[in-house]
A and B are shown apart, each in its own frame.
Chain A
Amino acid sequence: MSEPSSIGRRRRQGGAFLDRLAGGLVRVIDHALDADDLARRDGLLQRLDPRVKLAGLLGLIVVAVFVKSLAVLAGLFLVSVALALPSHVTLSRLVKQIWLKVLAFAILIALPAVFLVPGTVIARLPVLLWPVTLQGVRRASFLIGRAETAATYALLLILCTPWPHVLKALRIFRAPIVLVVILGMTYRYIFVLLESASRMFESRRSRMVGPLSPRDRRRVATATAGVLLDKALRLSTDVQLAMFARGYRGEVRLIDDFRTTPIDWLALAGFAAIASAALWLQA
Chain B
Amino acid sequence: MHIPDGYLSPATCAVGYAMAAPFWTVALGRVKRLLQTRLVPLLAAVSAFSFVVMMFNLPIPGGTTAHAVGMGVAAIVLGPWAAILAISIALAIQALFFGDGGITAYGVNCVNMAIIGSLVAYAVYQAIAGRAPIASARRIVAGAVAGYAAINVAAFAAGCEFGIQPLLFHDAAGAPLYAPYPLSVAVPAMMLAHLTLAGAAEAIITAGIIAYLQRANPSLLQTTAMAANDQESERERIAAAGGWRGTRPLWIGLGVLMVACPLGLLAAGIAWGEWGTDDLQNPEVRQQIAQASGNIAPPEHIPAGMERLSTIWTAPMPDYAPPFMHDANFGYIMSAVIGAGLILLAFLGLSWLFGRAPRSRERSA
Return A12 CB to nearest CB of chain B, in Å.
Answer: 15
Chain A residue nearest to B217 (CB atoms) is A230
Q: CB distance A223 to B175 under 8 Å?
A: no
Return A74 CB to nearest CB of chain B, in Å.
Answer: 14
Chain B residues 45 to 84 lying within 8 A of chain A, measured CB to CB, are: 45-49, 51-53, 55-59, 61, 63, 70, 73, 77
Q: CB distance A150 to B6 under 8 Å?
A: yes
Asked if A209 is at the interface (CB within 8 A of a chain B CB), the reply is no
Query: What 6 new A-B contacts, CB under 8 Å, besides A25-B55, A147-B7, A178-B39?
Result: A35-B97, A179-B28, A186-B48, A194-B52, A226-B217, A240-B42
Interface stretch (choices A45-53, A138-146, A257-265, A268-276): A138-146
Q: CB distance A186 to B5 under 8 Å?
A: no
Chain A residues in 8 Å Cβ range of B37: 240, 243-244, 248-250
Supposing A192-B48, A223-B212 touch, asked if A143 and B180 sit within 8 A by C-beta, the answer is yes
Asked if B262 is at the interface (CB within 8 A of a chain A CB), the reply is no
B→A interface (CB under 8 Å): 4-7, 9-10, 13, 28, 32, 36-49, 51-53, 55-59, 61, 63, 70, 73, 77, 85, 89-90, 92-93, 95-99, 102-104, 171, 173, 175-181, 204-205, 207-209, 211-213, 216-217, 220
Which of B89, B99, B181 has most chain A Cβ within 10 Å?
Answer: B99
Which of B104, B178, B181, B207 has most chain A Cβ within 10 Å?
Answer: B104
Asked if A105 is at the interface (CB within 8 A of a chain B CB), the reply is yes
Of the four ranges (under 10, 10 to 19, 20 to 34, 35 or more), the interface on chain A belongs to 35 or more
Q: CB distance B104 to A62 under 8 Å?
A: yes
Q: CB distance A186 to B89 under 8 Å?
A: yes
Chain B residue nearest to A110 (CB atoms) is B180
Return B224 CB to nearest CB of chain A, in Å.
Answer: 14
Return B55 CB to nearest CB of chain A, in Å.
Answer: 6
Q: CB distance B45 to A233 under 8 Å?
A: yes
A224-268 to B contact mask, C-beta < 8 Å, 1/0: 111111101101110110011000111010000000000000000
Chain A residue nearest to B210 (CB atoms) is A226
Q: CB distance A28 to B96 under 8 Å?
A: no
Which of B37, B52, B98, B217 has most chain A Cβ within 10 Å?
Answer: B52
Q: CB distance A147 to B44 under 8 Å?
A: no
Chain A residues 137 to 192 lying within 8 A of chain B, measured CB to CB, are: 138-140, 142-143, 145-147, 149-151, 154-155, 157-158, 163, 166, 176, 178-179, 181-183, 185-190, 192
Chain B residues in 8 Å Cβ range of A24: 55, 57
Asked if A58 is at the interface (CB within 8 A of a chain B CB), the reply is yes
